[in-house]
Amino acid sequence: MESGQPVTQPTGIEPTGEPRIDGALRRLVDPDRDVRQAAALDLGTIAAPAAAPALVARLGFEQDFFVRDTLSWALTRIPDAATPLLLKALTETDTASRVQVLHVLSKIADPATTKAIAALTADTDSAVASKARWALTRIGDPTVVPALAVHLGTGDSTNQNDLTRDLASFGAAAVPTLITGLVDGDAHVRSHAAEVLCFMGPRAEGAIEALAGALQDAADEVRLSAAMALYEVGTPEARAVLSLHTEANDPRLRAVARRSHSRSAGKS
């Protein structure tokens, strides 16, 4: 039994007229987390659309990780009923609640939710924005790539690393947008675009020509990121581009080019 204050019943826990469902709904707000966990599991097993309002309402109040995870699973079992309610819940101001709602929507992965989720990629709360971008990768609609790329070169290193992963997940579909990023007026954007292409490796083959141009960039970091991207692409064409820079004035570009040349020689 958990200690502390009893769990308050949130708005939305309303009877459905079905005895088994209503019994589980009553247990969903029990002070004992084990009772709540069993209730959430029961509701997920029943998979009754009528329970959707209560499950969504409880999602924003539940403090226990395991119970919250089971509530999320239960909602994925009734996606048609849950999705409209989850989208409505995204208007809530509580960060933790919105992050959890986005987590559930990412599991449901309904393409129809893409627009609503994409609107949160620029949210003032970084946790919400990051989770929204991640949710879009789970849905996998490549039309959101430009909306994600708007954030290239912004935020702290954690946010940038997350965005690198998110954009790279779209593979070749992200390459045209990243090529545009390579000629952006902001060097941070150009460097980050090259870093994403580097993370993609061979999937970034379509950017070789643009990366070759980026090796002439005025910014040191852009040149290095472009060189590393070509190294990770690793195709004969990419290695041929790097071979032209084994005597470059930029010591880091020169080092990557020579490393690529040595790798090529080792394969011959």
Is the four-CA dihedral 168, 174, 177, 180 of positive or negative sign? positive
Q: Who wins on pLDDT, 193 or 91? A: 193
Cβ-contact 222, 250 below 8 angstroms: no
Q: How far is CA 237 from CA 136, 240, 244, in A?
A: 32, 5, 11
Buried b (16+ CB within 10 A) or exposed e, 187-200: eebbbbbbbbbbbb
| pLDDT given for residue 246 in this prediction | 96
Cα–Cα dist 60/104, whole Å: 12
pTM of the prediction? Answer: 0.83
Question: 143 — alpha (psi -120 to 50), left (phi > 0) or beta?
Answer: alpha
Given CA atoms 50, 52, 55, 61 in this order, what sign does their dihedral have? negative
Task: Dump pLDDT digits (tens) for 100-115.
Answer: 999 999 999 999 999 9
Contacts of 264 (CB under 8 A, 6+ apart): 239, 243
Least confident of 72-86, 123-137, 194-208: 123-137
Please check the confidence at residue 8 and state whether its pLDDT lies above 60.
no
Whether the predicted pLDDT of 5 surpasses 70 = no
pLDDT in tens, 227-236: 999 999 999 9
If pLDDT is split at 50, 70 and 90, which confidence band does 9 have? very low
Confidence of residue 266 (pLDDT cuts 50, 70, 90): low
pLDDT band per the 50, 70, 90 thresholds, residue 171: very high
Q: What is the pLDDT of residues 235-263, one digit of tens each?
A: 999 999 999 999 999 999 999 999 999 98
Take residue 164 and report the two structure tokens written for it.
Answer: 């690198």
pLDDT of residue 268: 52
CA distance 256 to 235: 15
Note whether 257 and 227 are within 8 A (CB): yes
pLDDT tens digits for range 195-214? 999 999 999 999 999 999 99
Q: Is residue 134 pLDDT above 90, yes or no? A: yes
**pLDDT surpasses 50 at 6:** no
